[in-house]
Amino acid sequence: MMGSISVSLGLEVVSSHVLPHVVVLSKDPRFRVRKAVSSKLSTLLRVDRSNSEYVQSILELFLALCRDEVWGVREGCLDALVPLSLSVSNEIRTSKLVPVFETFVEDKSRWVRTHAFKILGPFIASFKQCRLDPRLLMLYKTMGLSGRFGKDPDLLTICAYSFPAVLVTLGKDRWEELSELYFDLCKVPQWNTRKTLAHSIHEIARVVGREVS
């Protein structure tokens, strides 16, 4: 509720009255309360993404919740990762958010790991024309190619679904870095992965250009 009404209240009221209450709730002994905070934290960013001090306050709250001992709270944090990434500088995105994401993909909870990979494509896309951290690209390629994550059917479909966004972020000049992964995904046994690629083939063609198409 606090997140929903914050947009109407404005930055000054939210900073002085709402955010302090959210911080208290983020430390509640009941994990369901902390989970509610983590999963809805991104709604507070709708108030003002341009105020660096306000965004920094939410970032600090986010980083604290990412270390919660309950996996459901950590999973909820992933819902705020991309909105936060769109609100901070590339320096903070690389120095703070990328390391946090790396811990999520190594999390002991399978649900956290899977959720992390679900947002990997949008997270990569949040770099836009900024230099993409090579660690993220390696994680993305490993998700689709054989590697330490194996050939998880869910991850393969997630990888295929995110492919257009990742390619757009990298640009046509870096198609060769993704081409092996693309054609590897086209050959996987499960039909839903191939269907996902079929739906987006026109977008891939548009990005790579006429010659490659």
Q: Which residue has the higher pLDDT, 122 or 7?
A: 122
pLDDT above 70 covers what percent of the chain? Answer: 97
Sign of the Cα pseudo-torsion (110, 114, 115, 116, in order): positive
Asked whether 103 and 66 are in contact (CB, 8 A), the reply is yes
Is the CB of residue 159 less than 8 Å from the CB of residue 153? no
Indicate the average pLDDT of the chain: 90
Q: What are φ and ψ of residue 149, in 5° steps?
A: -95, -5
Q: Is the pLDDT of residue 150 over 70?
A: no
Within the chain, residue ranges assigned H as helices are 2-9, 11-13, 19-25, 31-40, 52-65, 71-85, 90-92, 98-105, 110-118, 120-125, 134-144, 153-170, 176-185, 191-208
Residue with tokens 């993704």: 178
- pLDDT bracket for residue 151 (50, 70, 90): low
**Angle in degrees, CA 77, 82, 84, rounded to 5:** 80
Q: At what angle do helices 52-65 and 31-40 cross, to 10 degrees?
A: 140
Instruction: Answer yes or no: is pLDDT of 146 > 70.
Output: no
At 104 the pLDDT is 95
- Closest Cα partner for 128 from 85, 171, 95, 169? 169
Cα dihedral 10/15/21/26 (nearest 10)? 110
- Mean pLDDT on 4-15: 84
Among 46-50, 69-73, 118-122, 130-134, the least confident range: 46-50
The tens digit of pLDDT for each residue in 152-173 reads 788 888 899 999 999 999 999 9
> Would the pLDDT of 124 be above 70?
yes
Could you give the dihedral angle defined by the CA atoms of residues 177, 180, 181 and 185, in that order, rounded to the nearest 10 degrees?
Answer: 160
Mind listing the pLDDT tens digit for each residue in 176-199? 999 999 999 998 888 999 999 999
| Residue that the structure tokens 């936060």 belong to | 84
